[in-house]
């Protein structure tokens, strides 16, 4: 089963569980208000099956190298620090 098919099936399952007057999560919807699940369980905002956490690949991250331990890492923020040796002696590469 493809991934998309699995998501669709998951939503159909929700649809079958919920009474018809309650909103369900149609997989084709792009804008969705948060609401409680039919059983009172918590459900976070969903956008086509899951919360939209944005496109992390589009974040403005830079490649860094630690000048002390030579560790290379990708980071974002104003005060980069080597996550390995905690040195601030790093440079963008």
The tokens for 30 are: 């792009």
Least distance CB 1 / other proteins (angstroms) = 11
Q: Which is nearer to other proteins, 16 or 31 (CB)?
A: 31
Q: Which residues contact 48 (CB under 8 A, 6 or more apart)?
A: 7, 25, 27, 28, 29, 30, 32
Q: Which residues contact 63 (CB under 8 A, 6 or more apart)?
A: 72, 73, 74, 92, 93
- Asked if 48 is part of the footprint of other proteins (rule: CB under 8 A), the reply reads yes
Report the first-to-last Cα separation within the chain, whole angstroms.
42
x-or-dash pattern for other proteins, window 57-86, by CB under 8 A? xxx-x-----------xxxxxxxxx-x---
Q: Which is nearer to other proteins, 5 or 21 (CB)?
A: 5
- Asked if 44 is part of the footprint of other proteins (rule: CB under 8 A), the reply reads yes
Residues found near other proteins in the complex (CB under 8 A):
3-4, 6-7, 10, 25, 30-34, 36, 42-59, 61, 73-81, 83
């Amino acid at each position: 089963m493809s991934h998309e098919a699995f998501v669709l099936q998951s939503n159909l399952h929700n649809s079958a569980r919920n009474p018809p007057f309650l909103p369900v999560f149609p997989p084709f919807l792009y804008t969705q208000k948060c609401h409680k699940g039919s059983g009172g369980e918590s459900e976070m905002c969903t956008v086509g099956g899951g919360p939209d956490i944005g496109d992390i690949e589009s974040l403005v991250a830079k490649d860094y190298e630690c000048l002390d331990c030579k560790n290379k890492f990708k980071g974002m923020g104003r005060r980069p620090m080597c996550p390995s040796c905690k040195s601030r002696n790093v440079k963008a590469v």
